[in-house]
């Protein structure tokens, strides 16, 4: 098949090279955006009288027919045409004749692919934002049912202090809110039109880039033609945001895995989101959560792959850059699947609130409350910390809990301790007392719930 650059060459491209260098096997998913951009470009060419309005309408009509064929699965992509751009252009020329050859006026595949990727990522980013919002609402709904549930909070995976279960869940709503902020910020720099930069230097023809930007819904036009075709910052930024979002899903998944163990016993994941063992009949494995945790590595890998690809490329476009798409597409698919399955799995979890409450006060989790009790009595915190540490050591040696100590035992460590100390040692009271802004007290958790219910509408 004749190549678009055949005028300069005297020998055909090797079949090995065609197979090695083609990208249509993966960039064909950009077809919708390639046609959308080409339609806008054709309309601009006609409006500027670079081609006639009739020719522009012929091109637009032909592109519409090609879009219908691709959508119906009737379009045959040809490897020898390399990529989605040349496949669509060749089909257009075959369909409407020589007029189709005018479509590529005042553009290059360099700015064309940059446009397609921005259009693609813009749509995918908006969908991801919607999916994150939906997941936040799911978590918020579960948190709203557990304002009265006390559980052990952990540091270093050791029981630390009592917290409300709803407070723990709201951590992930906060994380996801930051993720949305990153994707929204990414959209600002993504939504810039590169088309009209041509190969790297612009064009001598009287194009109207602002008109194309308006048609395609871009907020701005790229200011430097060389930067426009060589820039993949928007993709890197998207992958960075995706990696952070995936890490948050992975952390949630990890907690679900831990909490579902017999050792923790805080939750049971539904049979519909677990699997069994091929050899051990009793097993019920949290495989879905584990796979979410594992897929996070793929998203990270996509970011590292693109960073490595771009790290030493001279300006402007280099063919290396066609390898930006596989990791980008994979990251999009992976993140969306993880968001979807997490949102579906969470409502299918049974929460063992009795176990949570029973373990909330164990592990001397109200020791800090005892130290703060002493602080309120006028003891410097460092002294209060040391006194409380000795109380805990006494409990460990005597195999006692803080709450089970007699007043006389406690007063042996400080004469300032009186009967009101037992309020400080109660896990539920401990939680209620932590009413500092952002704390775990019910009043603060209710404030957080109200805030997120309002902004997630």
Residues 6 or more apart whose CB falls under 8 angstroms from that of 270 comprise 345, 348, 349, 350
Catalytic residue, from 19, 277, 337, 340: name it: 277
Rounded to whole angstroms, how far apart are CA atoms 435 and 313? Answer: 54
Known active-site residue 167: no
Place of tokens 């066609």: 322
Alpha-carbon distance of 183 to 331, in angstroms, equals 14
Cα–Cα nearest to 214, from 365, 43, 412 = 43
| Contact in structure between 59 and 96 (CB atoms under 8 Å) | yes
Closest C-alpha to 76, from 148, 1, 177: 1
Beta bridge partner(s), residue 162: 152
Q: Are 124 and 337 in contact (CB under 8 A)?
A: no
Token duo for residue 116: 């397609």
Q: What is the CA radius of gyration of the chain?
A: 31
Token couple for 65: 């027919």
392's CB contacts (< 8 A; 6+ apart) are: 364, 367, 402
Phi and psi, residue 158, nearest 5°: -110, 145
277 an active-site residue? Answer: yes
Do residues 391 and 351 lie in contact, with contact meaning Cβ atoms separated by under 8 Å? no
**Are 257 and 289 in contact, with CB atoms under 8 Å apart?**
yes
Active site residues: 156, 277
């Amino acid at each position: 098949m004749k190549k678009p650059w055949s005028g300069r060459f005297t020998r055909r491209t090797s079949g090995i090279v065609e197979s090695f260098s083609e990208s249509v096997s993966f960039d064909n998913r950009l077809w919708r955006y390639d046609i959308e951009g080409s339609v806008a470009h054709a309309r601009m060419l006609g409006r500027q009288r670079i081609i006639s309005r009739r020719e522009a309408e012929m091109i637009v009509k032909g592109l519409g027919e090609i879009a219908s064929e691709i959508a119906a699965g009737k379009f045959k992509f040809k490897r020898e045409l390399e990529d989605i751009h040349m496949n669509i252009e060749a089909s257009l020329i075959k369909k409407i004749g020589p007029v189709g050859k005018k479509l590529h006026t005042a553009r290059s595949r360099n700015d064309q692919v940059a446009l397609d990727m921005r259009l693609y990522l813009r749509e995918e980013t908006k969908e991801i934002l919607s999916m994150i919002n939906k997941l936040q609402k799911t978590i918020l709904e579960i948190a709203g049912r557990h304002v009265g549930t006390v559980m052990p909070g952990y540091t270093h995976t050791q029981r630390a202090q009592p917290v409300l279960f709803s407070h723990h869940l709201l951590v992930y709503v906060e994380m996801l809110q930051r993720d949305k902020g990153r994707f929204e910020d990414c959209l600002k720099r993504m939504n810039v039109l590169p088309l009209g930069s041509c190969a790297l230097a612009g064009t001598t023809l009287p194009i109207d880039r602002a008109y194309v930007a308006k048609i395609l819904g871009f907020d701005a036009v790229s200011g430097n033609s060389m930067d426009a075709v060589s820039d993949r910052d928007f993709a890197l930024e998207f992958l960075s945001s995706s990696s952070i979002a995936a890490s948050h899903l992975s952390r949630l998944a990890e907690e679900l895995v831990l909490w579902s163990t017999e050792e923790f016993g805080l939750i049971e994941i539904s049979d519909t989101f677990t699997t069994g063992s091929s050899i051990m009949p009793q097993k019920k494995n949290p495989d879905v959560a584990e796979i979410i945790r594992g897929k996070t590595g793929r998203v990270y890998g996509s970011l590292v792959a693109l960073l490595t690809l771009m790290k030493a490329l001279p300006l402007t476009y280099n063919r290396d850059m066609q390898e930006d798409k596989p990791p980008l597409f994979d990251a999009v698919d992976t993140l969306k699947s993880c968001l979807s399955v997490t949102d579906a799995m969470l409502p299918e979890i049974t929460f063992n609130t009795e176990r949570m409450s029973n373990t909330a006060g164990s592990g001397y989790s109200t020791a800090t409350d005892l130290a703060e009790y002493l602080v309120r009595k006028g003891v410097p915190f460092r002294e209060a910390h040391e006194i409380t540490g000795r109380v805990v050591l006494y409990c460990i040696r005597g195999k006692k809990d803080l709450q089970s100590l007699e007043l006389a035992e406690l007063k042996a460590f400080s004469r300032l301790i009186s009967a009101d100390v037992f309020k400080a040692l109660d896990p539920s009271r401990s939680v209620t007392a932590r009413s500092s802004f952002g704390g775990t007290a019910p009043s603060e958790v209710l404030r957080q719930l109200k805030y997120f219910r309002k902004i997630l509408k």
